[in-house]
Amino acid sequence: MAPESEGTTPIRRALLSVHDKTGLEQLARGLTELRVELWATAGTRAGLAHAGLEIHPAEELTGIGSWFGGRIKTLHPGLLGGILAPRSDAGRRELEARGLLPFDLVVVNLYPFVEHLAEAPDADDLEEYIDIGGVTLVRAAAKNHAYVAVLSDPTQYTAALEEARQHGGALSAGTRRRLAVAAFERCTEYDRAIARGLAPAAPGPGGLPVEVAFRREPMALRYGENPHQPAAVYAGVGHDGAGFSPAPLELVKGESLSFTNLLDLDTAVGVVAEFDQPTAAVVKHATPCGVASAPTLAEAVERAIATDPVARYGCAIAVNRPVGDADPAPLHGVFVDLLAAPGFSDAARQALERRPKLKLVRTTPPAPSAVRWEAKSALGRLLIQEVDRRQLAPGDFRRVTQRESTPEERCALDFAWRVVRHAKSNAIVLAHGSRTVGLGAGQPTRVKAVELAVEVAGERARGAVLASDAFFPFADGVEVAARAGVRAILQPGGSVRDPEVIAAADRAGMAMYFTGWRVFRH
């Protein structure tokens, strides 16, 4: 008999051995309809007892039942031989000589070590949740994927059944190979979680993980920063399992997101997450160019886009409330590339659908504890740091000038500081109340950042407050702000020329406060 073709091997016999029974009955029924002979281990058979299906006990092929409280059930040639055997003439002869049955499909998922570790990291029974037989079955089937398909996750069942129905009970060679890759990846993740769970890696400085893993996500990017640069999205997981938790993200309208869309979105969502009031953030080139909080979302959007009518062209906007029926009105006549919100009302969605180039994204600003680490790259290396979520405390407002700010100015300074931490260094934010009136960011000198913020603000700089992400190295930046009419400044302090800077503020009758810590963002 000629060897079976790797592309057309039908599924005649399947082995089922799963801990997670999700979708199991539907899969078993679908396989039965395809006339697949089903074999299952005791626990899996019990989970299907009510289904009324003919399922053979795997113990008939091993003759060992369950040893040592279930630690050994499937580690036996009676199962592994039928999975690993090549389907050549020689392989068939040996299967027959040894009295083994070949399996064409193996359905296995593993003991929930990761879930048990999360629930009880100090439990004495962690070792009992380490799967040995299941991993062996998965690896054996994946190794022999030329003839055997392996389903290692319940999310794979529906697609596998659909393809098998379309191809007379067979899965293509490409599908078997993809399933094998997914199975090996699952085993790798599982082993890594066990190693970390039993002997957590010694943390680096400040609790930074010693090792992190990133996996490519299915989200398609049109290109990188420029059309000639291919790009992809990867989600990462730190040693604690949550250090790089990705924010929920769903494109609900528009063409696929770009590399720069995600960078802008990251900044915009981070800004609005700073505030409890309805807030809108307008972002260009991954730096804010307008932010406002207001009693209503429509007011917040209107005030945010009013900060810089030139820079907002082609912007990304994020808000921290679902977009209601009237909220899109302020965007009339404004070219917006992307609008992100936790949700959109039906009326708002219909209104925004009329804008053909607008992308709508459903996303939720992360909770303060959701993402612990953030990553960037440099010189072919991954740079990781803890996300900056330090908040101003009352003691961080250390007055260094003769004049003291008014309560209203103090609130505006707090608002401006929450915004400036998301702007590119060197960064300056001018604000009135809870809205920005001028921003200067990404400048090589701080005085240039002040000049840019003042230029954007125009007459609105008079009576405004100013937040600076780092200290003023010279008095010139303060002097520019004073001439524009700025009344109060919040900055980290720490320059060797602080006395000169303070003196310039006093001459102008300005209030100035030092925080003692900076908020660089590069």
Which residues are identified as catalytic? Answer: 143, 285
How many CB atoms are closer than 10 A to CB 507? Answer: 12
How many CB atoms are closer than 10 A to CB 462? Answer: 13
Query: In degrees, to the nearest 5, what angle opens at C-alpha 263 toward C-alphas 260 and 266?
Result: 150
Residues 487, 505: Cα–Cα separation, whole Å: 9
Check: CB of residue 40 under 8 Å from CB of residue 62: no
Give the type of residue at 193. Answer: A
Strands, sheet with 13-17, edge to edge from the N-terminal-most edge strand: 55-57, 37-40, 13-17, 105-108, 149-151
Residues 23, 15: Cα–Cα separation, whole Å: 15
Q: Is the dihedral of CA 162, 168, 172, 178 positive or negative?
A: positive
Query: In 294-397, where do the E strands start and end?
Result: 315-319, 336-341, 359-363, 373-378, 381-386
What is the phi/psi pair of residue 181, to 5°? -60, -45
Please report where in the chains the tokens 């440099």 appear, as a residue. 378
Give the type of residue at 102. Answer: P
Q: Give the closest residue to 449 by CA, choosing from 434, 468, 464.
A: 468
Q: Give the closest residue to 456 by CA, choosing from 298, 280, 335, 287.
A: 287
Please report where in the chains the tokens 């053909």 appear, as a residue. 356
E strand or H helix that includes residue 95:
helix 89-97
Q: Is the dihedral of CA 402, 407, 409, 410 positive or negative?
A: positive
Q: Which residues contact 263 (CB under 8 A, 6 or more apart)?
A: 286
